[in-house]
Amino acid sequence: MSKLVMIPGPTPVVDSIRVEMGREIQAFGDPNFVKDYKEVIDNLGKLYGCDGKTFVVAGTGTLAMEMSIANSTKKGDNVLIVSHGFFGDRFIDICQRKGLNVDVLAAEWGKTVSLSEIEAKLKEKSYAAITVTHVDTSTGVAADVAAIGEILKKFPDTLYIVDGVCSTAGHYENLKEQNIDILFTGTQKAFGVCPGLLMLWANQKAMDRRASLGTIPEYYVDFDKWVPTMDDPAKYFATPAINLVWALKESVRIIEAEGGLKVRFERHLKNARAVQKALISLGFKILAEDGCRAVTLTNAIYPDGIDDLAFRKALIAEGIIVAPGLGAYAGKLFRLGHMGNITTNDEVAALSTIERALMSVGKLDKPGVGVGTYLAEMAK
């Protein structure tokens, strides 16, 4: 029996996207593929309000993190990292390896770094860049990316880098409207495509910064290497992941057909709040505080007396896979992804499976509470 993958990425892939991945290969110089690749790049640029360059490159979110830093900083620069968990912290290692001076503002897991702390820190010294993880997958905390963008208007020499790996195409994002200089993501989360491509948007200010750096030590992630291909995909730099580009093109078509990013965010918001309310009705606590909860995933802390491994094993036996907790929360919570092209039916199935697993470990007497809560919320 195939399992429903409800981890926070990779997310389920709908049939029309799967078909694109199964197509017979074409040469990367084939005019049909070149046209498709160009269309994806241009549409993504428009969708995200990017006045600079949009990059669609083979690789994962971590490579995009490295790409953002490589093209915006040089050894010895100051960088401010705002961390709401494991993936925020990942930037520390990436930046230290590059010889950057790193300052970190980290929140207790489940909470956010306050806007006033961020502003105060930016006043202390001149930072080449600030990194903010929009949704940290380890905590399910969503940062107020737009409000931080407003603050950054007072610090025009600092590039604003947003990690959108667990938010982009779920949460609303727009470079121009939110004053973001670099945004990036991977295909495997809210775009609902298999893992393997990164998308990175760099506005004109970020491209000017890249130009000011001259030759950089990195090769594959150098904007300058990719710009000719992004402008004209008939030009070779490194072999494009052809079928994934087609799959992404279909994903972008689905987003546009849904009504665009704002409508997609509203759907994610409504569904997420219903899922979260249902989980609370079943006795779980949500790690992220009310007010900073992601709409793309939920990190649900177990009620007392539930063994994480036994619970997740019971879920797998019933056909649904969720992800374990990270860091200090390993064994204490599970992470449920609800982003991309998943449906209300998938969420009902997940909640009903969670109820059956709770009953199997003796932690639920009356079935239907969670599903009922969810359906009532969705009906509002």
* Binding residues for ligand PMP, total number by CB under 6 A: 12
Instruction: Please name the residue ranges forming H helices in 259-343.
Output: 261-281, 308-318
139 near 109, Cβ under 8 Å?
A: yes
43 forms part of the interface with ligand PMP (CB under 6 A): no
Q: Which stretch binds ligand PMP (CB under 6 A): 162-170, 204-212, 271-279, 282-290?
A: 162-170
Q: How far is the CB of 87 from ligand PMP (least distance, A)?
A: 4
Which residues, 6 or more positions from 373, have their beta carbon under 8 angstroms from its beta carbon? 274, 277, 278, 281
Strand pairing category for 333-337 and 297-301: antiparallel
Closer Cβ to ligand PMP, 173 or 318, answer by number: 173
Which of 7, 18, 39, 60 is close enough to bind ligand PMP by CB under 6 A?
60
Distances (CA, A) of 50 to 108, 202, 284, 332: 33, 7, 40, 40
| Shortest Cβ 136–ligand PMP spacing (Å) | 6
137 vs 179, beta carbon nearer ligand PMP: 137
Interface with ligand PMP (CB under 6 A), residue from 10, 45, 52, 61? 61
Q: What is the Cα–Cα distance from 72 to 51, expressed in whole angstroms?
A: 17
When binding is defined by CB under 6 A, the residue of 4, 9, 83, 191 that contacts ligand PMP is 9
Q: Which of 166, 315, 323, 351 binds ligand PMP (CB under 6 A)?
A: 166
Q: Which is nearer to ligand PMP, 100 or 142 (CB)?
A: 142
**Beta carbons of 161 and 178 less than 8 angstroms apart:** no
| Largest interatomic CA distance in the chain | 66
Binds ligand PMP (CB under 6 A): choice among 71, 72, 83, 137 = 137
| Interface stretch with ligand PMP, choices 13-21, 97-105, 129-137, 151-159 (CB under 6 A) | 129-137
**Which CB sits closer to ligand PMP, 166 or 336?**
166
43 vs 60, beta carbon nearer ligand PMP: 60
| Rg of the chain over all Cα atoms, to the nearest angstrom | 21
Question: Given the complex with ligand PMP, which of 186 and 233 has the nearer CB atom?
Answer: 186
CB of residue 322 to ligand PMP, shortest distance in Å: 14
Classify residue 293 as left (phi > 0), alpha (psi -120 to 50) or beta.
beta
Q: Please, what is the minimum distance in Å from the beta carbon of residue 9 to ligand PMP?
A: 6
Q: Kind of pairing, strands 101-106 and 78-83?
A: parallel
Q: CB nearer to ligand PMP: give 105 or 166.
A: 166
In 3-state terms, what secondary structure has residue 167?
Answer: coil
Q: Does 163 bind ligand PMP (CB under 6 A)?
A: yes
**Residue that is written with structure tokens 């918001």 in the block:** 269
Instruction: Tell me which of 165, 252, 272, 349 binds ligand PMP, using CB under 6 A.
Output: 165
Task: Report the DSSP beta bridge partners of residue 286.
Answer: 300
Cβ atoms 135, 294 nearer than 8 A: yes
Phi, psi (rounded to 5 degrees) for 167: -135, -40
Q: Does 339 bind ligand PMP (CB under 6 A)?
A: no
CB atoms within 10 A of CB 115: 14
Q: Which residue is nearest to ligand PMP (CB)?
A: 61
66 belongs to the binding site for ligand PMP (CB under 6 A)? no
The residue among 61 and 340 lying less far from ligand PMP, judged by its C-beta, is 61
Residue 87 touches ligand PMP, criterion: CB under 6 A: yes
Residue 119 and residue 133: Cα distance in Å, rounded? 17
Task: State the Cα angle at 60 between 158 and 222, rounded to 5°.
Answer: 50
Q: Which residues bind ligand PMP (CB under 6 A)?
A: 9, 60-62, 87, 133, 136-137, 163, 165-166, 186
